[in-house]
Structure 1
């Protein structure tokens, strides 16, 4: 596999890196977080003006027609800046759901709103009992004439507090854990019967629990075929893992940079502590984990187009397991090398570690994905081992 960027991708990487570096110093981030919605609408509009929000969508619907590699470039830059704007929730999660299952009318109506920054979307799938099982959906969609009534609850909906529209999974037939019988609907966040309980997550982002009490949606709001929504949810999960791998690489790079800089500046015992070989070894361990994560992020982006479903899922599970392990190692070593300052609110490295910890539990933790790899026969076949 060729992990080198072409000329156009290199120019794009320079553009997003410069944008995030300019807009996302640590103190600037704190100001964005303090906004009522937990992010800056002004920065969101600038993301739209730069074309970042239109990146993965088909040009026929107002997008730029780029793919997973370009999304990886954006997510890595956002990881370095610990960006709080809802790119992951709106563009990656909901964008991949619409691209996978939206009809022409939906794409024409909704994609320009996302790409232009006019609307923020949220993807509501997880429920309290579901853990990481994608087919575990209890929220019900009951047919009533030409409409459906949604009743139930979704938890931990990233940026659900500020969403203008929500793509929600609901059970239209079958039992709670059945693979068949799941459908997706686009819901206006101001719909009667929809309530939100908003809160800040451990990594400083915003989320909400959404309570649906006979919320009315029409057949036109159905994304994909009735009862066939699980395949779309699985596609969203695949895209999410690839994006989170890239974000993790950006976070680890920033964490390593902060740590090495601290080792050079912190003086103790007559000189900078970075001169001690034991601490140099710890920094080298962080670099190794970073490079493995960056390679796996590239691999994940390329494997999103793998037509063999089994191989794609196995590869992405291996990626998620690796970035979870690497995130713990890099984060823990960074805190250890910084000492007490590493866990203060006023210093960035602890915030990077929090985000890595949240990524570990998003869309399946390391243990869950290691089990999936094992159940699929292992990442390397017995003949090659």
Structure 2
């Protein structure tokens, strides 16, 4: 990576940090945990106006064409501020729709303008009675489901409206208050839905989008655990026992150092994986990054709760917000990413 590109990414990160702090933060995450909306249309539109949802979309399709490294630095700042989980999925979905045909143009435009949200769902080999648990925004009318099934020449991805006849949506809540949904769609409804990707080329575009989603969530988790560790380090400097800060205790220093290594090593892997995009290593690198990030984020955020002692376990303390969000995001791709690694 040349110096000019590095400087550009730093500028993007600084801008994203300011915006994320304005639209996110522990207070908003707490409102979600307590039952408030995880997805606010006004915030979604504001993020779209910053160009975040078009960051991986080619210029020819109305995007910024900044690529996976830029997507990752934005996602990392989103995680640092605990922004609503659909963020990374929206960025990846826009990249997929940009590779689709004319039928997808209105949906892509609505997405990058912040007027809609698109959820990517892999239904494996059959679309009959699809059951796909996924994070979704609040307000079903604002969401579209891009569902893929089949392999190779039999691959097909279709846009489904959750409000259409023959589509049933069962919603529940994740541990952080985000909404999860099971989508049920019958064969007739699937056949009538507009097809936006097909065949080998369509499957390649779909896989690229899935890899971007993995990278985005991995970067999000990097920012999340970095912010959680900073919260704990502040507490270790402040809390005193036996007349000294507890951060001076060697046992806690060793544990904090291990957390720092987790954060730093995971971030390095994520950005290395982002640079592997559009190469033969793209899928494996993205899977490795999200698998590592999910494991590390759980380890770090659990330690952060422990560092705070009894108060860290209290629902009123912010430490638990990071752990719950790490659990939600880390579980999103756990099965598919691990399967990709094991099949290599």
TM-score, with normalisation over the residues of structure 2? 0.88
Is the Cα contact below 8 Å between 1:68 and 1:304 reproduced in 2? yes
Separation (CA, whole Å) in 2 of partners of 1:320 and 1:82: 17
Deviation at 1:208, TM superposition (A): 0.9
Q: After superposition, where does 1:184-263 map in structure 2 within 5 Å?
A: 184-213=157-186, 214-215=188-189, 218=192, 221-226=194-199, 230-263=203-236
Question: What SS does the aligned partner of 1:117 have?
Answer: coil
Q: Give per-residue Cα distances to partners, 1:32-87, cap 9 Å, x unaligned.
A: 66687532111112112222222221222222221111110111011111111622
Deviation at 1:117, TM superposition (A): 0.5
Q: After superposition, where does 1:44-193 map in structure 2 within 5 Å?
A: 44-84=44-84, 86-92=86-92, 94-99=93-98, 101-103=99-101, 105-126=102-123, 136-140=124-128, 152-159=129-136, 162=140, 163-171=142-150, 181-193=154-166
Q: Which residue of 2 aligns with 1:149?
A: none
Q: Give per-residue Cα distances to partners, 1:172-212, cap 9 Å, x unaligned.
A: xxxxxx66633110122321121211111123321211121
Q: Of 260, 276, 286, which residue of structure 2 is paired with 1:316?
A: 286
Deviation at 1:357, TM superposition (A): 2.7
Return closer, same or farther for 1:36/1:360 CA change in 2, 3 Å cut-off.
closer
Name the count of aligned residue pairs: 341
Is the Cα contact below 8 Å between 2:130 and 2:185 reproduced in 1? yes
Separation (CA, whole Å) in 2 of partners of 1:154 and 1:180: 23
Q: Which residue of 1 aligns with 2:17?
A: 17
Q: Give per-residue Cα distances to partners, 1:10-48, cap 9 Å, x unaligned.
A: 222111101111222311333466687532111112112
Q: Of 298, 323, 331, which residue of structure 2 is paired with 1:353?
A: 323
Q: Give per-residue Cα distances to partners, 1:273-306, cap 9 Å, x unaligned.
A: 1111111111111111110011011011111121
Deviation at 1:218, TM superposition (A): 4.6
Is the Cα contact below 8 Å between 1:80 and 1:254 reproduced in 2? yes
Return closer, same or farther for 1:226/1:305 CA change in 2, 3 Å cut-off.
closer
Separation (CA, whole Å) in 2 of partners of 1:367 and 1:90: 19
Return closer, same or farther for 1:251/1:2 CA change in 2, 3 Å cut-off.
farther
Q: Of 368, 373, 385, which residue of structure 1 is paired with 2:338?
A: 368
Separation (CA, whole Å) in 1 of partners of 2:62 and 2:301: 39
246-255 or 234-243: which moved more?
234-243
Is the Cα contact below 8 Å between 2:262 and 2:300 reproduced in 1? yes
Separation (CA, whole Å) in 1 of partners of 2:227 and 2:9: 21
Return closer, same or farther for 1:233/1:56 CA change in 2, 3 Å cut-off.
closer
Structure 2, unpaired ranges of 5+: none
Separation (CA, whole Å) in 2 of partners of 1:35 and 1:350: 16
186-195 or 251-260: which moved more?
186-195
Question: What SS does the aligned partner of 1:186 have?
Answer: strand
Q: Which residue of 1 aligns with 2:265?
A: 292
TM-score, with normalisation over the residues of structure 1? 0.79
Return closer, same or farther for 1:36/1:268 CA change in 2, 3 Å cut-off.
closer
Is the Cα contact below 8 Å between 2:159 and 2:195 reproduced in 1? yes
Structure 1, unpaired ranges of 5+: 127-135, 141-151, 172-177, 377-385
Question: What SS does the aligned partner of 2:267 have?
Answer: helix
Q: Give per-residue Cα distances to partners, 1:196-246, cap 9 Å, x unaligned.
A: 111111233212111214326557x21222587544443233212211221
Deviation at 1:316, TM superposition (A): 2.9
Is the Cα contact below 8 Å between 2:35 and 2:177 reproduced in 1? no
Is the Cα contact below 8 Å between 1:63 and 1:111 reproduced in 2? no
Q: Give per-residue Cα distances to partners, 1:324-374, cap 9 Å, x unaligned.
A: 3322321232122112222332222222122223333332359935952xx
Q: Which has the higher helix share?
A: 2
